[in-house]
Amino acid sequence: MTQISRFIGEVVPVAQNVTGDGDESAAPEGGGGFADYALVSLHCLRIYLDTSYRMTIDLLKEMPQITGEIGLSAADLPSP
C-alpha cells in the first residue's frame, strides 16, 4: 500500500462523516457532479500532493486504485 493510498484511506471516511454523505454514491447518476465527500477527498489529495487541480486530475487518471478508493472511476473525472 502506498502513502497516497493510506492517505486516501484515512481521508475518505472522515470526509463522509463530516459531509454526512456516508451512503451517497461519489458520482450520483444524473446528479451532474460529485458527492460532497468526493470533492473534499479530491481537494485534500490535491493539497497532499502539492499540485494544481489539473495535475491532480491527470495523475488520478493514471491511478485507478486511488480513484476507486474515493468511489470514482477514471470516466467520472472531469476533463480539466
Contact 61, 54 (CB under 8 A): no
Percent of the chain beyond pLDDT 70? Answer: 94
Q: Considering the domain boundaries, does residue 47 fall inside one? A: yes
Provide the residue range defining the domain that includes 56: 1-20+34-79
Q: What's the gap between Cα 5 and its chain centre?
A: 11
Q: Nearest Cα to 46, choosing from 36, 37, 59?
A: 59
**What is the value of pTM for the model shown?**
0.83
> For 44-59, how does the pLDDT look when each residue is reduced to its tens digit (9 = 90+)?
999 999 999 999 999 9
Tell me the C-alpha distance between 59 and 80, whole Å.
12
Contact 64, 5 (CB under 8 A): no
Q: Considering the domain boundaries, does residue 2 fall inside one? A: yes
- Cα angle for residues 42, 44, 48 (degrees, 5° grid): 115
Tell me how many domains the chain contains: 1
> For 30-40, how does the pLDDT look when each residue is reduced to its tens digit (9 = 90+)?
666 788 888 89
